[in-house]
Amino acid sequence: MLSFLMFRPKVSFNMAFLGLLAATFLLVAPVMAQPKPSKPLKIVALGDSLTAGYQLANGEAYPDVLQKALVARGIQAVVANAGVSGDTTSGGLARLDFSVPDGTDAVLLELGANDMMRGVDPEIPRANLTKIILKLKERHIPVMLFGIPAWSNAGPDYAKQFNAIYPDLALVYQVPLYPFFLEGLIGNRDMMLADGIHPSAAGVREMVKLTLPHVEAFLSKLPAKP
């Protein structure tokens, strides 16, 4: 009888210890099994007033609205607004290293409209955009190109030369192209500001709606982030 009484506490202790160990494992195991959250994509929208959000309120510019749309689609991304109103391709090239910092995962390149509106020789924006693309490729930063066709009053010869820039560069350097950044907006008063050149807040939302599938396709091909 004495040996039996001495043995029971030992069994009770072992059972309690095992129960405590199992409970601890159940609490720790889910934490250990959780994957680390991936870092958001760092995207830079490099452009002019169409990117900068000319005369729009904070949060209404294309990069801001695009970021919200991407996040809503489950794509964790931060879209930096590197648009400068009035900027030409020459200006974009000059500030490229400053505007696109190290660690950038992708660039949305929208420049050339001001070159066209000022009647700059098409060979100049062609050369500048080429240099921008090559510099970014050297840094292993993927690029998506957004085009702006020449206005109708630019003249047929000028328009022919200028309009060839974007598809030519997209083909030669194998970068995705959205041919007309203002697709569906020109002539629509509800989508444009009074100047007829810049998109309104509603216009930006339409731009994001139309470009989003193309941007998503571009981002889906980026290398996976650790």
Kindly list the catalytic residues: 49, 195, 198
From edge to edge, which strands make up the β-sheet containing 143-146? Answer: 77-83, 41-47, 106-110, 143-146, 177-178
Q: Is 168 exposed, middle or buried (0-12, 13-18, 19+ CB in 10 A)?
A: middle
Count Cβ atoms below 10 Å from residue 151 Cβ, excluding itself.
15
Residue for token digits 């294309």? Answer: 62
Reference 48, options 2, 127, 108; nearest CA is: 108
Do residues 11 and 19 make contact, with C-beta atoms less than 8 angstroms apart? no
